[in-house]
Amino acid sequence: MKNYKLTVTLFTMLLLALSQQAFASDIAVSDAYVRAIPPGQTNSAAFMTLHNHNMQSKTLVGVESMVADVVELHEHKHEDGMMKMRRVEGGIEIAPHAMTELKPGGLHVMLIGLKQKLVPGEMIHLTLKFDDNSTQDVHAEVRKLAMKMKKKPAMKMDHNMH
């Protein structure tokens, strides 16, 4: 009788482990970070690299976070000589055994209406949601990104011309 009970318990544990396995996303996330923002600004963005170790493609369809009112998947695109930001339609697909990079100037997770300060070094909790209903928790470090300074060769040239 004791043995029977133990077997049932082990079997239940195995089932639990298997069902959890089924909902793990199998996406490896690396280098996740959130851009620190100057005071007064209410929006920021998160970036990361997504590796798909599956045989099938996976699509990131949404991200949830407690730090912002709204979280959207965005991309930057050149249009009429201007850099424009827009919502990604249909999510971000990651091909089988491929990787997709979310980075400044490209795909990003937009955090709109921040509810808390983003302190450099602190970790922000994000939940990635995929098209197969799997989810993945990510901890993204708040980082101060170097502003791209405009190079000044034009000024040098001006001086040479005089």
Per CB under 5 A, residues contacting Cu ion are 74, 85, 110
H or E, element range at 54: none
Backbone angles phi, psi at 23, to 5 degrees: -105, 5
123-130 and 92-94 strand pairing: unpaired
For Cu ion, the closer CB: 41 or 57: 41
Residues 22, 116 contacting (CB under 8 angstroms): no
Q: Both tokens of residue 81?
A: 């000589």
For Cu ion, the closer CB: 96 or 113: 113
Q: Could you tell me the smallest distance in angstroms from the CB atom of residue 122 to Cu ion?
A: 21
Spatial distance between the Cα atoms of 106 and 75, rounded to a whole number of angstroms:
5
Question: Quick one: which of 149, 160, 147, 122 has its CA closest to 34?
Answer: 122
Residue closest to Cu ion (Cβ): 74
* Location of structure tokens 């049932």: 8
For Cu ion, the closer CB: 84 or 139: 84
Q: Name residues whose C-beta falls within 8 Å of residue 121's C-beta, 6 or more positions apart in sequence.
A: 141, 142
For Cu ion, the closer CB: 6 or 85: 85
Q: Could you tell me the smallest distance in angstroms from the CB atom of residue 78 to Cu ion?
A: 15
Q: Could you tell me the smallest distance in angstroms from the CB atom of residue 73 to Cu ion?
A: 9
Q: Could you tell me the smallest distance in angstroms from the CB atom of residue 113 to Cu ion?
A: 13
Q: Could you tell me the smallest distance in angstroms from the CB atom of residue 60 to Cu ion?
A: 15
For Cu ion, the closer CB: 110 or 126: 110
